[in-house]
Structure 1
Amino acid sequence: MCGIAGYVGNAPPRAQAIDSALSLMRRRGPDIQRAKAYEFPDCHHVVLLHARLRIIDLDSRADQPFNVANSAIVYNGELYNYREIRAQLKSAGHQFISESDTEVMSRAISHWGTQAFDKFEGMWSLARLDLSTGAILLSRDRFGEKPLYILRQKHGFYFGSEIKFLLALSGISPDLDWSQLSRYLVNGYKSLYKQPATFYSNVEEFPAASFAEAKTDGLSLPVKFWSPAYAPDARMSFNEAVEEIRLQLIRAVELRLRSDVPVAFCMSGGVDSIALISIAQKISNSAIHGFTAVNSDERYDEWPLVEETVQQLELSHTAIPTDTSGFLDGLRTLVSYHDAPVYTISYYAHWLLQQQISKHGYRVSISGTGADELFSGYYDHHLLYMNAVQDDEKLLNESIRNWRSYIKPVVRNPFLQDPRAFIDNPNMRDHIFLNSHEMQEYLTTPWHEPFTEHCYTPSLLRNRMMNELFHEAVPAILHEDDLNAMYYSVENRSPFLDRCLFEFSMRIPDRHLVRDGKAKIILREAVRGLAPTSVINNRRKVGFNAPILHFLNHRDPHVRETLLDDSIIFQHVRRDRIESLLDEDELPNSKSKFLFYFISAKFFVEAHS
Structure 2
Amino acid sequence: MCGICGLAYVDPARPVELDRLLRMRAAVAHRGPDGAGERREAGVGLGHTRLSIIDVATGQQPLANEDGSIWITFNGEIYNYRELAAQLQSHGHTFRTRSDTEVLVHAYETWGLNFVERLNGMFAFGLHDVRNGRVVLGRDHLGIKPLFYSVTDEGLFFGSEIKAVLAGSGCAPRLQFASLQEYLVFRYVAGSRSFFHGVHRLPPGHVAVWQDGRLQVQRYWTAPGPAAHNDSTGLTLDQATDRLEELLAEAVRSQLMSEVPLGTFCSGGVDSGLVTTYAARHADRQLATFSVGFAERTWDETALAQDTATRARASHHVLRADPHTFQATLHRLIWHHDEPLSHPNSVPLYLLSRFARQFVTVVLTGEGADELFGGYPRYHITRLRHATAHLPQWSRALTAGALRRLPGHRAAKLAELLPLSYEDAVIYNSAYVSPALVSRLTGAPIDDAVAERRDLVAQAFVPGDAVATMTRYELATYLGCALDRMDRMSMASGLEGRVPFLDLPLVEWTTSLRSALKVRARENKRVVKRLAERYLSPRITRGAKSGFGIPLKGWFQDPAFSALLDRMRDPRHPAAAAFDRPTLDRLLAEHLRGDQDHGEVLWLLANVYLWHEVQLWGNRGD
Name the TM tier (shorter chain): 0.7 to 0.9
Instruction: Judge conservation of contact 1:295–1:322 (CA < 8 Å) in 2.
Output: yes
- Give the distance between the partners of 2:77 and 2:239, measured in 1 at CA: 31
- Give the distance between the partners of 1:366 and 1:476, measured in 2 at CA: 18
Shift of 1:589: 7.8
- Give the distance between the partners of 2:384 and 2:610, measured in 1 at CA: 43
Aligned to 1:591: 598
Please give the secondary structure, in 2, of the residue aligned with 1:443.
Answer: helix
Please give the secondary structure, in 2, of the residue aligned with 1:568.
Answer: coil
Deviates more, 1:318-327 or 1:481-490: 318-327
Deviates more, 1:244-253 or 1:326-335: 326-335
Aligned to 2:63: 66
The 3 A distance-change label for structure 1 pair 588 and 253 is farther
Report 1:481-520 matches (<5 A). 481-514=486-519, 517-520=522-525
- Give the distance between the partners of 1:441 and 1:223, measured in 2 at CA: 33
Q: Deviations over 1:395-427 (max 9, x none)?
A: xxxxxxxxxxxxxx9963333579x979x9897
Aligned to 2:55: 57
Aligned to 2:397: none
Aligned to 1:370: 368
Amino acid in structure 2 at the alignment position of 1:454: A
Q: Deviations over 1:380-409 (max 9, x none)?
A: 32354568899xxxxxxxxxxxxxxxxxx9
Please give the secondary structure, in 1, of the residue aligned with 2:458.
Answer: coil
The 3 A distance-change label for structure 1 pair 293 and 447 is farther
Deviates more, 1:65-74 or 1:326-335: 326-335
Residue 344, structure 1, aligned to residue 337, structure 2: no
Aligned to 1:42: none
2:458 corresponds, among 454, 462, 484, to 454
1:570 corresponds, among 566, 572, 576, to 576
- Give the distance between the partners of 1:169 and 1:36, measured in 2 at CA: 15
Shift of 1:510: 1.8
The 3 A distance-change label for structure 1 pair 298 and 374 is same
Q: Deviations over 1:434-477 (max 9, x none)?
A: 54146337625144336732343111111012111112x11111
Shift of 1:141: 0.5
Shift of 1:127: 1.3
- Give the distance between the partners of 1:135 and 1:426, measured in 2 at CA: 39
Residue 413, structure 1, aligned to residue 417, structure 2: no
Aligned to 1:198: 194
Instruction: Judge conservation of contact 2:16–2:41 (CA < 8 Å) in 1.
Output: no
Residue 18, structure 1, aligned to residue 25, structure 2: no
Q: Deviations over 1:521-558 (max 9, x none)?
A: 11122344333344233354565132154266358764
The 3 A distance-change label for structure 1 pair 171 and 559 is closer
1:228 corresponds, among 213, 223, 229, to 223
Instruction: Judge conservation of contact 2:79–2:120 (CA < 8 Å) in 1.
Output: yes
Instruction: Judge conservation of contact 1:411–1:417 (CA < 8 Å) in 2.
Output: no
Q: Deviations over 1:265-310 (max 9, x none)?
A: 1111110110110111122222211111113433333233222212
- Give the distance between the partners of 1:549 and 1:306, measured in 2 at CA: 24
Shift of 1:319: 0.9
- Give the distance between the partners of 1:76 and 1:56, measured in 2 at CA: 12
Deviates more, 1:577-586 or 1:457-466: 577-586
- Give the distance between the partners of 1:65 and 1:448, measured in 2 at CA: 43
Please give the secondary structure, in 1, of the residue aligned with 2:167.
Answer: helix
Aligned to 2:89: 90
- Give the distance between the partners of 1:212 and 1:495, measured in 2 at CA: 26
Amino acid in structure 2 at the alignment position of 1:181: L
Shift of 1:32: 1.3
Residue 47, structure 1, aligned to residue 45, structure 2: yes
- Give the distance between the partners of 2:596 and 2:548, measured in 1 at CA: 15
Q: Deviations over 1:230-277 (max 9, x none)?
A: 133442222221111111111111111111111121111110110110
- Give the distance between the partners of 2:442 and 2:217, measured in 1 at CA: 38
Q: Deviations over 1:537-591 (max 9, x none)?
A: 3354565132154266358764443433431211112344444444444658851
Report 1:103-182 matches (<5 A). 103-182=102-181
Instruction: Judge conservation of contact 1:295–1:544 (CA < 8 Å) in 2.
Output: no
Aligned to 1:394: none
Deviates more, 1:451-460 or 1:1-10: 451-460
The 3 A distance-change label for structure 1 pair 486 and 239 is same
- Give the distance between the partners of 1:174 and 1:206, measured in 2 at CA: 19
Shift of 1:115: 2.4
- Give the distance between the partners of 2:226 and 2:561, measured in 1 at CA: 56
- Give the distance between the partners of 1:132 and 1:540, measured in 2 at CA: 53
Matched pairs, number: 579
Aligned to 1:464: 470
The two structures, once aligned, show a CA RMSD in angstroms of 2.9
Please give the secondary structure, in 2, of the residue aligned with 1:241.
Answer: helix
Please give the secondary structure, in 2, of the residue aligned with 1:496.
Answer: helix
Report 1:377-388 matches (<5 A). 377-385=375-383
Shift of 1:481: 1.1
1:480 corresponds, among 485, 494, 498, to 485
Aligned to 2:535: 530
Shift of 1:322: 1.0
Q: Deviations over 1:207-231 (max 9, x none)?
A: 211122222x124422222111213
1:212 corresponds, among 201, 208, 214, to 208
Specify every segment of 5 or more residues in structure 1 that has no aligned partner in the other structure, as ranges.
Answer: 40-44, 391-408
Q: Deviations over 1:145-201 (max 9, x none)?
A: 11111111123111111111111122221422122112212x0325x20x3111111
Aligned to 2:262: 263
